[in-house]
Amino acid sequence: MFTNRSPVAVSLRIYSEEADAPKQLRVGARLDKYRIASRLGEGGFATVYSAYDTIEDRRVALKIPDSRHLANSQTIDDLQREVRIMAKLDHPGILKLKDARFIDGHFVMVFPMGDETLADRLTRRIARATAVDYALQMIDAVAFAHQQRVLHRDIKPENFILFPKQTIQLTDFGLARIQTSAHPVSASGTLGFMAPEQAMGHPGFRSDVFSLGLVIYRLLSGELPDYPFEAPLPGYQKLRKGLSSDFVAMIRKAIDPVPNRRFRDAIAMQNAVSRIRYPLSDRSVMQLGRSDNPSRISQRRAA
């Protein structure tokens, strides 16, 4: 389906050789049917805009790599690979790529517009059951990616987008390689959500598990433990509050500093979660569904 000979590969190269550097996009600018509304974020190599789809009458997020990066053939290869990864990952927990093509010399990736990122959401209080529901959706999403042999490499709250009906979706797939070259880890002096071995240049499925576990730890404890992640972890008492001991043990295993002690991949993590019947210690509130769809929860509130 996504072979090296597909037309996308050809057109990316043709356009990258056109030296005309497109101008910065301004608010109100038109790109075919899209009207730029505002700038949402700027990463290592691309800018994300909120835009209005004048045909479909709805808001979209446009991710547009800086044109100077399109002159670099390594970046073109990375971009091509990442676009194809996102195009083939069809899962409710992964942000859907609606379209990707050149418009007026800009390479434009089009996504549904979300409400905010998990990083934004973390600044406000989140109910325990909601936070656990998000955690389960995140594990399902990364497990699905790992099933497709896709490593994310940059799992962090900024890369999860929230949508209505308590839905959370992972985005920014596999772009870490491009970003890493633009922002060396040493520049920040902090690992953030990155596994120690990944910081040493060895990313793998276990390092994705670590980052995912740390995001979930942050979501449920309000704290972000730092290297070397030794006990007592900051916020550990808060983490345990209201959670079953099985669920806490699952999170701890995911963020073990020793890669071999973690889950092999997010699929193994998802399997462990599916064996946990009650994530919350108050069993009347939430019970996990059957293992064929682990993220589905049934809520039975006590009268």
Ligand X SMILES: Nc1ncnc2c1ncn2[C@@H]1O[C@H](COP(=O)(O)OP(=O)(O)O)[C@@H](O)[C@H]1O
Which residues are annotated binding-site positions? Answer: 63
Query: Please, what is the minimum distance in Å from the beta carbon of residue 92 to Mg ion?
Result: 20
Q: CA–CA separation, 30 vs 103, rounded Å?
A: 10
Longest Cα–Cα distance in the chain? 67
- HSE, side-chain direction, 13 A CA sphere, residue 259: 16
Q: Pick the stretch among 32-40, 164-172, 206-214, 277-285 that binds Mg ion (CB under 5 A).
A: 164-172
Q: Pick the stretch among 32-40, 172-180, 230-238, 244-252 that binds Mg ion (CB under 5 A).
A: 172-180
Give the torsion through C-alpha atoms of 272, 275, 277, 278, to 10 deg.
Answer: -20
- CA-only gyration radius of the chain, Å: 20
Is residue 82 close enough to count as binding Mg ion by CB under 5 A? Answer: no
Q: Does the annotation mark 154 as catalytic?
A: yes
> Which whole-number Å values give the CA distances from 99 to 103, 105, 166, in the listed order?
11, 16, 25
Is residue 159 close enough to count as binding Mg ion by CB under 5 A? Answer: yes
Q: Where are the beta strands (DSSP E) in the chain?
A: 30-31, 34-42, 46-53, 58-65, 99-103, 106-112, 116-117, 160-163, 167-170, 286-288, 297-299
Query: Please, what is the minimum distance in Å from the beta carbon of residue 82 to Mg ion?
Result: 12
Tell which one of 172, 207, 209, 248 touches Mg ion (CB under 5 A).
Answer: 172
Query: Please, what is the minimum distance in Å from the beta carbon of residue 29 to Mg ion?
Result: 23
Residue 46 binding: pick among ligand X, Mg ion, none (C-beta 5-8 Å cut-off by kind): ligand X
Please enumerate, by residue number, every residue annotated as part of a binding site for ATP.
63
The smaller minimum CB distance to Mg ion, of residues 159 and 295, is found at 159
Residues near ligand X, by CB under 6 A: 40-41, 43-44, 46, 48, 61, 63, 95, 111-114, 117, 158-159, 161, 171-172, 175
The smaller minimum CB distance to ligand X, of residues 109 and 139, is found at 109
Query: Please, what is the minimum distance in Å from the beta carbon of residue 276 to ligand X?
Result: 30
Residue 58, SS3 per DSSP:
strand
The smaller minimum CB distance to ligand X, of residues 121 and 252, is found at 121
> Which whole-number Å values give the CA distances from 132 to 56, 107, 251, 273, in the listed order?
34, 37, 11, 11
- Is cis: bond before 22, omega within 30 of 0? no
Taking CB atoms, the residue at the shortest distance from ligand X is: 43
Name the residues annotated as catalytic: 154
Contact residues: Mg ion, CB under 5 A: 159, 172
